[in-house]
Amino acid sequence: VRWLTNTDPALRAAWHPVARVGDVGDGPLGVRLLGEAWAVARLGGRLVALEDRCPHRLAPLSAGRVEGDTLQCRYHGWRFGGDGACVAIPATGPDVPVPPRARCATASVVEHLGLVWLAPETPRCPLPDLPELDDPHFGPVELPPQTWRASAAQMADNFLDVAHFPFTHAGTIGDPDDRLVHPYEVEREGWVVRAVHRHRAKALVGEAAPDGPVEEVIDREMGFTLTAPHHVVLRLDYGRDGRMVLAFFHQPVDDDTTVLWCLQAAENVADGRVPTDEARAFQLRVAAEDRDLLERLEPKAVPLDLTAEVHTRADRITVELRRMLADLVAAGAR
C-alpha cells in the first residue's frame, strides 16, 4: 500500500504556499517545503526561489543578501541570478570564468491571494481560486499560520470531512443531533473536486443579539472545493446570517510537520454584525479541536489504496481526495 507522506516526490509538481507576500522583504527568506530548503527573494523586482544551498561550500543562501538583481552568499560572496546561475566569484575576479557547475536549482514561485506559492517542478495542477477575498461584501479575518504535527493530506482529509462535526466539534460548531449525513454528490473536473453538503451546525451570529454575537444552531450549506494536491476552500451559506469563505491551504514542511495557512472572510464581519476578533477566536477554537485529534493519528500519511481503510457513502468526498492524490502520484511516475 502506497501511503502519501509530506515528502512524496509526486508533490513536487504542485503549488504550495510557503509565506505571506509581506514576509519577503529586502532580504531573502528561507522556507522549507517537502523536506527541502528554498531561499525566496525579490531580485530586480522579480520573485525567485533558489535551492537554499550554495554550490560552493553549501552555505544557506537565505543567510545572504540581495545585491541588485542577484542573491549574494554570505560565506564567500558568490552571486547568483534568478535562474540559479552563479554570475560572480569575488575570490577569482571578473577575468576568470565561473565554473559551469556553480549553479543552484530553482523553483516556480508566484504571488496569489496574499501568499507566496512555490512549485519545485512544473506544476500539473492549478492554483486554488478565492475571488471572495477581493469582494467588499466579505470582511477578511486574519488568522496566523499554524504548525501542525500531521501531514497535509491528513489535514485536507479532515477539512473535507462531513461526518465529524457532532463529535470532534462538540464544543463549537457541532450540533449533537446532526449525526446523519444526507446523500451528496461529488464532482471531479481535472484536478478540482466539488461537493455540496447541507446540515445543521452552530455558528457565530450577530443579528438577533443586542449584547453581541451568540452561538446558535442553524441550517447551513457547505460548498467544498478541493484543488490538488490538498487545498480546501469551504463556502458556507447561513441563509439570512450571510456567507463565509474559509480556505485551508497546506505547506507540507517535513514528514511530521505541516503549516496551515487559513484564510477567512465573512459577510457578517464586513457588515459589522460579528466583530473580527470574535470571528477569529471562534475559528481558532474550531481548528484547535481538529488539531488535537489529528496530531494523534499515526502514521503521518494517507493511504492511496482504498482497501487500507473502511469507507461509507458519507465519505465520498474524502474518497475522491485519495483518488486524486493517487492520480497525481501516477502522473509523476509516467
Question: What residues line the site for Fe ion (CB under 5 A)?
Answer: 290
When asked if residue 99 is in the footprint of ligand FES (CB under 6 A), the reply is no
Chain centroid to CA 246: 12
Residues with Cβ within 8 Å of residue 60, at least 6 apart in sequence? 30, 37, 39, 52, 53, 54
* Contacted by 152, from Fe ion, ligand FES, none: CB < 5 to 8 Å by type: none
* Contacted by 290, from Fe ion, ligand FES, none: CB < 5 to 8 Å by type: Fe ion
* Contacted by 57, from Fe ion, ligand FES, none: CB < 5 to 8 Å by type: ligand FES
When asked if residue 65 is in the footprint of ligand FES (CB under 6 A), the reply is no
Angle at 35 between CA 29 and CA 39, to 5 degrees: 20
* Contacted by 59, from ligand FES, Fe ion, none: CB < 5 to 8 Å by type: ligand FES
When asked if residue 98 is in the footprint of ligand FES (CB under 6 A), the reply is no
- We find the least distance from the C-beta atom of residue 49 to ligand FES, in angstroms, to be 17
Q: Measured between alpha carbons, how far is residue 176 from residues 169, 173, 202, 211 in Å?
A: 9, 10, 10, 26
- We find the least distance from the C-beta atom of residue 67 to ligand FES, in angstroms, to be 13
Give whichever of 62 and 268 is closer to ligand FES, judged by the CB atom. Answer: 62
Which of the 8 DSSP states describes residue 85?
A: B
* Contacted by 204, from Fe ion, ligand FES, none: CB < 5 to 8 Å by type: none
Q: Quote the CA–CA distance of 58 and 55 in Å, as a whole number.
A: 5
Near ligand FES by CB under 6 A: residue from 46, 76, 179, 285 = 76
Per DSSP, the three-state class of 206 is coil
When asked if residue 57 is in the footprint of ligand FES (CB under 6 A), the reply is yes
When asked if residue 54 is in the footprint of ligand FES (CB under 6 A), the reply is yes
- We find the least distance from the C-beta atom of residue 223 to Fe ion, in angstroms, to be 16
**24 touches 109 (CB < 8 A):** no
Q: Quote the CA–CA distance of 160 and 230 in Å, as a whole number.
A: 10
Give whichever of 56 and 323 is closer to ligand FES, judged by the CB atom. Answer: 56
**What is the widest separation between alpha-carbon atoms in the chain?**
78
C-alpha closest to that of 237 among 188, 193, 203 = 203
Backbone angles phi, psi at 23, to 5 degrees: -75, -20
**Which residue's Cβ has the minimum distance to Fe ion?**
290
Near ligand FES by CB under 6 A: residue from 59, 217, 314, 329 = 59
Stretch that binds ligand FES, among 56-64, 171-179, 256-264, 266-274 (CB under 6 A): 56-64
Q: Quote the CA–CA distance of 217 and 14 in Å, as a whole number.
A: 38
* Contacted by 56, from ligand FES, Fe ion, none: CB < 5 to 8 Å by type: ligand FES
Near ligand FES by CB under 6 A: residue from 2, 32, 56, 194 = 56
* Contacted by 73, from Fe ion, ligand FES, none: CB < 5 to 8 Å by type: ligand FES
When asked if residue 39 is in the footprint of ligand FES (CB under 6 A), the reply is no
Q: Classify burial at 94, counting beta carbons within 10 Å of its beta carbon; exposed 0-12, middle 13-18, buried 19 or more.
A: exposed
Per DSSP, the three-state class of 308 is helix
Residue 36: other Cβ atoms inside 10 A: 18
When asked if residue 78 is in the footprint of ligand FES (CB under 6 A), the reply is yes
The residues of the shown chain that bind ligand FES, judged by CB under 6 A, are: 54, 56-57, 59, 73, 75-76, 78
